Structure 1
């Protein structure tokens, strides 16, 4: 039943009751009949009942709207929580947490800060709604001062209608975008705060027609973000455990590599060294035996070289996992993120995977490994993009960062030996290495190979 019909029925019910009262007055109490009085009473009854039922209807509609809004928020919260469970990669989970929270409450900006080991400062900041150019203009990441420090220190949410009017609004970096309303909640796991989730500038619904305005966050917004933060904390912790398991697997593989070298190659080289030393002492007393010993050492060295080549081939096959360049690049990105706070985006055109030979794929991975190593050691970057694209019958690998860059014309370039090795690998594949960089302008390394 719609509210308009409910209002009409309310007025009719009031008229029926009034008509019954008229009958009682004239038939039982024999009061005099007056058309004027009846008209006035009818008008008052209709007006009063209409006003009353209009008020009742407005209350019911408001409560129904609140119930619908609450239901929509809970459904969105449920969908966002489910979406988090589909990811295991830590970097993807962190970005999805801040993206989903911003969409959940229709905020213009969102940020997720992950604290360092001692919980004193933000070690990694993931943003949403902030363009890369705007982020690059800031002289440093926001720290745990002022408003941002409240969830960390006090372990509770904070909601501010106007940031500029709050005395705790300090510590924002230069060129930080202007923000009005603010909502922040802590990320807590096992009683320990390991991060914070922030939203700023709640936007009105498109249906409201108030474009360009920002609203204050409500108590309901705060409760919803707290519930989502609890789910996000679990998802982040699971992703961290997944990364730790991967790190353990890497360490185990390195240990196996070391054991294989020690038990095989190193023992063989040690034996050849003893053989050469013995031959050196026989040069004067038994030159024939010395010659045989040297010949045997040469045979042994050739066998060691063969064993090393076989081992390297096996490593390449294991690393490529079916000669899939994308999986190899994603593995390199995960390895680097294990030891840094870099955000690395890998984007590979799937049509390029079948165009490359096993050797091209292996060498491209080595070039990417060297490029990422240079970023970690020299660039002081926060973002790295790895792209593989077809290029007029060729394939191009690009590794680009937003670091401090360098003057390509100057001597003593950062990672000089690494750049030389990358260029040499590209040359061996009949490819071309292009390096473009500028001070404070990031670095772009592109390798183009024939497919």
Structure 2
């Protein structure tokens, strides 16, 4: 039987006290302490022996349940907290208050678990805010009456309204705080990434890059051990390159893993991160792969990340922590970002090494062309001069002497060029003369050392303004062509013609010699034709070689003026 209602004065006093207490709820920003205060306040307002507040998660499941009125020993003797069955479940899934005199007589009751104190009367009120069910207030066993009254229900419903606003504010503040903390962590992550980027950009030493990056990463994430395994070129093995962590010699017994072998090899082959809980290893094979020192240490979790480049897997990054909780999502994302940066740094370093190797090969090729087109041709010209001097010895000793003097002078010039190669690996051709002066010198040497008639013509004038590299290319091509004519053509007439337009400069060397099959002769006369083509292309131009057996040869080359 329901007790008599409160007088108007008593109800107003209770509501005033409830209003004062509820104002304090809105100022509480801690959800756990707020829930407990709601439970105590509800218990005091209606004189209940027991009270509890249940809070739902975003999926509507019972996330927290805080009881008051029971001793810690009574709570500890119960097998488990409420799971949302019986009257609690009915209140969770409904929107109306529930007030009953005897719990055991209600059809919705599911009874109590073992060691639960006996309870009789019941009042349950949902905590709602903006049409959302946030939780419930549970009250049992009114101490000064057989059951809860309608006035009790009205008071607790008002309290639930205050509690709903307070819980909504506390949750909103908690989300803002969590978001602010997450943004702070992300900013710290970006700062570390920026610092690591500076490290990666200022060094080309792979080991120095990895060592510094791992050191920064371990300090920032409070890692206890870290290792990096690298794959050498296209090898099927990953070898231990970097280990950091003073408490452990290394993570695994082996320091080398084949792709697909062990956790390291599987991470590299699958190209996806792996997280290992060392406290719950079930696979004996996996346990046997770790060092005894690791299994006996306080390291609880290991994370392995592939270092993935455009050409495939470059290595694996391993990190270990002794935290009670595993790596969270943000830490895993950060480690993935670090792995990507390290992969990029490794790939850039490899590309830089390949570029340097290619530069060495290109420089060797250039030196070879310069030696062939410059010094070797000069020595060959000296040989022609000496051969001519030998022929003149008996008939004209004075002319022979002049030829020998000229050979000596040419050899001195060649020695000068060799010294230039030794000092700066560049021939001193055309440094003190323009292209036409250089061509005149080549023609004069050719005329003096052979019995072949040669003509040089410039159209329309000699005022040709070319980049030094283009002029040098034309000079060497003419030098090579005249040397080939002297050695192979058996020609009687040679013409060298140079002319220019607004866009390009052209050089043509024509002879009436025996000619040759261009496709077959490339493999016979050494580097000459290939060198001419290379020099023309490097100067931004093109070369065309026309020849047939018995019909002479024409070489036409052009280079841009700019």
TM-score (norm 1): 0.45
Structure (1/2) with the larger strand percentage: 2
The higher-RCO structure (CA 8 Å, 6+ apart) is 1
More helix by share: 1
TM-score norm. by structure 2 comes to 0.38
